[in-house]
Amino acid sequence: MKPLITIISECHSDNLGDQAIARSLSNILHPFYSVTETSFGCLTISQTDNSALPTKLRKSILRKVFSTVPAKTRMRIWWHILGKKRKFAKHFGASIKESDLVVVGGGQLIKNNLALFSEKLSLISDISNSYSTPFGLLGVGVDKKMDSQNWRIVKKAINKAKFITLRDFTSRDRLDTAVNLERDFSILPDLAFALKNPEFSQEMSDRSVSLAINIMDFDAMLSGLGYVKKPDANIFVEGLCDIVKIAHNNGSTIKLFTSGTPEDLIAANNVKTKISMRTGVDVPIFHPSTLSHLLNFLVDVDDVIATRMHAGILSYISGCNPLCVNWDDKVAGVWSTINQPERVVSVEDIANKNASEIILRGLQNLAPASQHSLDELAEKISLCVLEPIRKTLVHDQASVTLKT
């Protein structure tokens, strides 16, 4: 019987990049192991009841009280006092207790956010330890906003992991600085680079979309820059308008596209309206409903300007020629890991008065990856995923044998 591995990831996220990571990892493991997937961030429907808040009156009172409390404090009250931790413990525990190994990742999961990723990692570690189930961190990124409190919460979990692979050198440096690691860790390119687009063939030609521009929620993008005062999103949009105008005048077929989230679609509609008002060009929007839907779209695209990190990665593995906006240094990090730093431009480049020249020249100086290089990259990632898992399962089985 194959060992059972539980993948805990953002597999149910509405961001299709998170789904791409989960699918890639599952595809790598399935030939050798039995695999189950559990959501890192979402509870099952049966675990999202409001039994802790039985009356409308109590809900109303809590809303009034919570309105005066900082957002992070509010979420920790939900976690520690109002039952969210208990529900996630049941959610994670149901999968962990049946597993031979728990794999947490990939994605930017060592993170300081309102979803309390640090608390969830700590909880997974504690539950795994209670069932004597080994767990590892695979292909994870480290948030630049991590503070001392988050490091205290997550430090024990990191040191209890049987193996750790990080997706970029920046994450390695942050982890190395903050945590006195008791074991080695390695660098692994983002797991989505190992995903195969089943619709892509190197022999494909005559793609009908010359330029696809990926749009993401501007609040999320600009807050990721870490400025004390956010820059005006309109400056960024003006740069996109210039790019569209020049590309359109050069005969390019242009589309906007999202990575699946409702917030990104709202932003794309706003951009579409402003492009039409300022340039007279009507640019259609592609909003994918599934990961397969997005992959099918990308095989019909030549050049891509990507704001979402995984929009760029999925474009790359689909034979497109992506140029990626570095709104968070994780973007530059993942492309440096595969020695493609030239695929990254800054937000300031888009907002520059010469944006069209900078971006379109940048695309002209790049080319799509060859099928051979994509296959080599996927094989490298697969080997780097399978090796620590194999060693952990062999060691764990040996330990059980010795005990018995």
Q: Are residues 230 and 286 in the same domain?
A: yes
Q: Are residues 383 and 358 in the same domain?
A: no
Domain contains 351: yes
Q: Which two tokens stand for residue 345?
A: 């431009």
Q: Are residues 29 and 58 in the same domain?
A: yes
Q: Are 159 and 153 in contact (CB under 8 A)?
A: no
Sequence-distant (≥ 6) Cβ neighbours of residue 131 within 8 angstroms: 93, 96, 97
Q: Are residues 384 and 335 in the same domain?
A: no
Edge to edge, the sheet with strand 135-142 lists: 34-39, 4-9, 101-110, 135-142, 164-166, 186-187
For the beta carbon of residue 383, count every other beta carbon within 10 angstroms. Answer: 11
What is the 3-state composition of the chain as percent helix, strand, coil, each rounded to the nearest 5?
50, 15, 35
Q: CB-side exposure of 180: number of CA atoms within 13 Å?
A: 0
Q: Are residues 125 and 170 in the same domain?
A: yes
Q: Are residues 174 and 226 in the same domain?
A: no
**Confidence (pLDDT) at 219:** 86
Q: Are residues 173 and 51 in the same domain?
A: yes
Domain contains 264: yes
Which amino acid, residue 198? P
User: Would you give per-residue pLDDT tens digits along the chain (404 residues)?
Assistant: 899 999 999 999 999 999 999 999 999 999 999 999 999 999 865 555 555 445 555 556 666 666 778 888 889 998 999 899 999 999 999 999 999 999 999 999 999 999 999 999 999 999 999 999 999 999 999 999 899 999 999 999 999 999 999 999 999 999 999 987 766 789 999 999 999 999 998 777 789 999 999 999 988 888 767 654 566 788 889 999 999 999 999 999 999 999 999 999 999 999 999 999 999 999 999 999 999 999 999 999 999 999 999 999 999 999 999 999 999 999 999 999 999 999 999 988 988 889 899 999 999 999 999 999 999 999 999 999 999 999 999 976 655 443 33
341-356 pLDDT, tens digit each? 999 999 889 888 898 9
Distance in angstroms between the alpha carbons of the first and the last residue of the chain:
20
Sequence-distant (≥ 6) Cβ neighbours of residue 270 within 8 angstroms: 237
Q: Are residues 230 and 273 in the same domain?
A: yes
For residue 72, the enclosing domain spans 4-194+376-403
Domain contains 138: yes
Q: Are residues 217 and 113 in the same domain?
A: no
Domain contains 203: no
Handedness of CA 63, 69, 75, 77 (dihedral sign): negative
* pTM for the predicted model, two decimal places: 0.92
Domain contains 199: no
Q: Are residues 361 and 394 in the same domain?
A: no
- Measured CA to CA, the distance from residue 3 to residue 364 in angstroms comes to 48
Domain contains 116: yes
Q: Are residues 39 and 69 in the same domain?
A: yes
Domain contains 190: yes
Q: Are residues 217 and 162 in the same domain?
A: no
Number of domains in the chain: 2
Evaluate the omega torsion of the peptide bond into residue 106 and state whether it is cis, within 30 degrees of 0.
yes
- Classify burial at 372, counting beta carbons within 10 Å of its beta carbon; exposed 0-12, middle 13-18, buried 19 or more: exposed
Q: Are 74 and 42 in contact (CB under 8 A)?
A: no
Task: Identify the CATH number of the domain in which residue 332 sits.
Answer: 3.40.50.2000
Domain contains 200: no
